[in-house]
Amino acid sequence: MTLDHLQGRMLLAHNFALTETIVPEISREAFAAIFLEELGDRTDMNCCPLDHAHWMLEILFDPEVLEPKKVGEICAEALAETRKIQKVYPKSFYNILILAGQKQTPVTSSDPDSLQTGEWGVDVVETESIAAFLDSIGWKEENDRKPTIFRVELQV
C-alpha cells in the first residue's frame, strides 16, 4: 500500500493520569517515539510527530483496511509493549484508555496539524482507575452526545 491510499487520519494526545511510582511520565517526544518505533514496520499505517499544542502524533491509515477502533487497539498495544518494561514495580497494574471522537464541526484553525472535520481526535490516557477518569471528564454525557465515538481499554 502506498501512502496515497492512507486517507484516514487520527491525531493523538497523551494524558498521564498516574503517579510516577507506577511508570515514569514521558515527554511528548518520547510518546511519539514509542509509536514511531512500535508501528514503524507496518505498511497499513504511517506515523508522524506533530508540532501542535495539544496533538502529538498523526497516524494515517487506510479505512478500507483498518477500522478506526482497530487503529485505536493497535495504538493501545503499542504503548503497552513499551510501558510494560518501564514499570517501577513489574507486578503493578494500570490501564491504557483510548478515547476517540470523530470531528463533526467545522474547522476553526488553518494549522495543518489541527484536527480537521471527519478526522479522529484520540486521547491516549494512562490511569489507575478508568471509571474515576471517565467520571472526571464527563464521558457518559460526551458519549451520549456524539454518535461517532469509541473507546479501547487495556490493562498493563
What are 11's strand-pairing partners?
58, 121
Q: What is the pTM of this model?
A: 0.89
| Cα(87)–Cα(22) distance, integer angstroms | 6
For 30-86, write each residue's pLDDT tens digit.
Answer: 999 999 999 999 989 999 999 999 999 999 999 989 999 999 999 999 999 999 999
Q: Give the integer Cα–Cα distance in Å for 133 and 127.
A: 7
| φ, ψ dihedrals at 11, nearest 5° | -115, 130
Contact 74, 122 (CB under 8 A): no
What Rg, from alpha-carbon coordinates, does the chain have? 15
Kindly write down the DSSP assignment for every residue of 6-65, as one continuous string.
Answer: --EEEEEEEEEES-TTTS----HHHHHHHHHHHHTT-SSEEEEE---SS--EEEEE-TTT
Q: How many domains does the chain have?
A: 1
pLDDT band at 154 (very low <50, low <70, confident <90, very high): very high
- Residue 156's pLDDT is 92
Query: Which residue range forms the structural domain that includes residue 25?
Result: 3-155
pLDDT-based confidence at residue 6 (cuts at 50, 70, 90): low
Quote the CA–CA distance of 33 and 40 in Å, as a whole number.
Answer: 10
For the stretch 112-134, pLDDT in tens is: 899 999 999 999 999 999 999 99
pLDDT tier, 92 (very low <50, low <70, confident <90, very high otherwise): confident
